[in-house]
Amino acid sequence: MYKSCISGESILPSIFLLCVALCYSSLALAKGTSSDVPLYKNPDANVEDRVEDLLKRMTLEEKIGQMTQVERSIANSSNIEQYFFGSILSGGGSVPSERASPTDWMDMIDGFQKAALSTRLGIPLMYGIDAVHGNNNVYGATIFPHNIGLGCTREPDLLKRIGTATALEARGTGIPYVFAPCLAVCRNPSWGRCYESYGEDPDLVRSMTEIIPGLQGNPSGVGIPSVDTQRNVAATAKHFVGDGGTLNGIDEGNTLSSFRRFVGTHMAPYFDAIAKGVATIMISYSSYNGQKMHTNQFLISHVLKKQLQFKGMVISDWMGLDRSTDPWGANYTNSVRLGINAGLDMIMVPFNYTIFQESVLSLVQSKSIPMKRINDAVRRILRVKFTLGLFEHPYADRSLTSMVGSQAHRDLAREAVRKSLVLLKNGNPGSTPLLPLDRKASKILVAGSHANDIGNQCGGWTITWQGSSGNTTKGTTILEGIESAVSSETEVVFKESPDASFAKNKGFAYAVVVVGEQPYAEYVGDNFNLTIPKEGIETINNVCSAVKCVVVLISGRPLVIEPYLPMVEAFVAAWLPGTEGQGVSDVLFGDYPFQGKLSRTWFKTVNQLPMNVGDKHYDPLFDYGFGLHY
């Protein structure tokens, strides 16, 4: 029959035309491209055409649903189907179960996805998580050094490789969307999020945006969200904009600046992020010259979307609209009006979704929010989802579970630790440098609260929001790294908090003292003294007064160290190195050289703050970019 139709043999002209139409209709049905199959479900169609086709099919309630992101702890099949949630997230420490496996994560996320796909239009949801230094909520995942340490490497290609690994570990738990990287330019180390910044210099932060093509794959065009494959994830540049420049370094505070300086310092990294196709941008809790960023229509709609031509999705931070007023939540409906009209596309609710959706619905009906603004928001959300391939591949790829905590990724993290370490001192005048350490010494002392503690060396945003001390996840402590590096004949003695007499006359060739800050995140970490915690100071005094020592400082920022430098032979800034403590011992014993350079100016006293490279009165203890070598 088909052959006859094509040739037209033995068929009258009118019947021939009908026959051809029927044949091609049959072929179209076989390929799934008939008029009965919506255009938005055709994977071969142009993304923009698919977006427009789906958008015109949606009700207002379905559109508002797509703009809603809720926390996993309150999501279930019933409310997903009823309220059409566009996204679900894990807040810091929000997990399916304690020490959940990659399969547990996939089962949970696939369950949510199944409910979303059962809705009228079958729009898949997008699951998001804070993967800020690896897939850091997940037990057993590889935890990379925090950004302040990565900035010291000065290696954009390393950041790209870390992005690729992080994407694989996120996909290995079924997660296609990460709230990273943080592109803050931290101008005051008192800020509790300073370790989330790559450094104080906008040019350095701009270079580190190479993590974005690692996470997402190679860019497709300026301002256009780009996610290459199902082994990549949608990234989030955050927090737009000025979060690292607040007065006195107060988290969620006010950044005071001329517009020209503001753009040159704080907005500059976003130019690169957009050029590299970042899929989403998260808005900052902070204010710019007194106006909350979550309601700043000029910077979001005019600058970001119009002038910078960002085509991706703009998302609020956690309860960002609630926190745009003082007290939080006052006149919430007005905050919703201001935020959405400012240009927010998806709202991280994360709990009171009914109040949010009712507010948006009433504001649209009263024309307080134009329908054009709703359509713009949903258009951007759908664009990211189509780019992610969620309509074709909504469920987790079970073959990727082995990526979580893989040896290849741990080796990469160990490399990143080695390259992030900064040597600040090695030897006193007239003495032989202590480093590299003698691995064949007969007896050595390892001391300090951070020497044998995975949680302390990972810092905040690790398993839980604030992080915590102890064996919080799988990894290698610095003590374990030292023990594996020394000769089999070397006796390694560990004492977390030795008293003044412990190290005296015990035959120690040298001591390694590992001390630092306790884990923290966000405003909990705001600190205006920036001193080493008391127990760390006591350990330095007790050990280094009795035996030659190297101090390894674990911290999310520079701390006051000038008073202790004369009593130590060597001093190393190790930042927050993550799970691979062997990276520290690799360099201490000379298997690899020190190569890290300070991503932050190291001050003498806190009275000098804020102090950054290029300032008129610049008198640091160690300059920005300082770093000794063997």
Active site residues: 317, 522
Token match 């517009």: residue? Answer: 259
How far apart (Å, rounded) are the C-alpha atoms in residues 23 and 17? 10
Count the Cβ atoms, other than its own, within 10 Å of residue 221: 11
Give the SS3 label for residue 298: helix
Q: What's the one-letter identity of residue 163?
A: G
What is the distance of C-alpha 259 from the center of its chain? 27
State residue 222 phi and psi, 5-degree precision. Answer: -60, 125
Q: Buried (b) or exposed (e) across 94-113, using 16+ Cβ within 10 A?
A: bbbeeebbbbbbbebbeebb
Q: Considering only CA atoms, which of 378, 583, 388, 561 is closest in space to residue 480?
A: 583
- Structure-block tokens of residue 578: 């993550």
Please state the three-class secondary structure of 177-226 as a single string.
EECCCECCCCCCCCCCCHHHCCCCCHHHHHHHHHHHHHHHCCCCCCCCCC
Q: Considering only CA atoms, which of 215, 217, 219, 199 is closest in space to residue 154?
A: 199
Give the SS3 label for residue 424: strand
How far apart (Å, rounded) are the C-alpha atoms in residues 366 and 363? 5
How far apart (Å, rounded) are the C-alpha atoms in residues 205 and 187? 12
Contact present, 140 and 175 (Cβ < 8 Å): no
- 65: Cα within 13 Å, side-chain hemisphere: 21
DSSP designation for 264: I
Q: Is the peptide bond before 205 cis (omega within 30 degrees of 0)?
A: no
- What are the beta bridge partners of residue 283? 240
Please name the residues in contact with 342: beta carbons below 8 A apart, sequence gap of 6 or more.
294, 295, 296, 297, 300, 301
Q: Buried (b) or exposed (e) across 189-205, using 16+ Cβ within 10 A?
A: bbbbbbbbbbbbbbebb
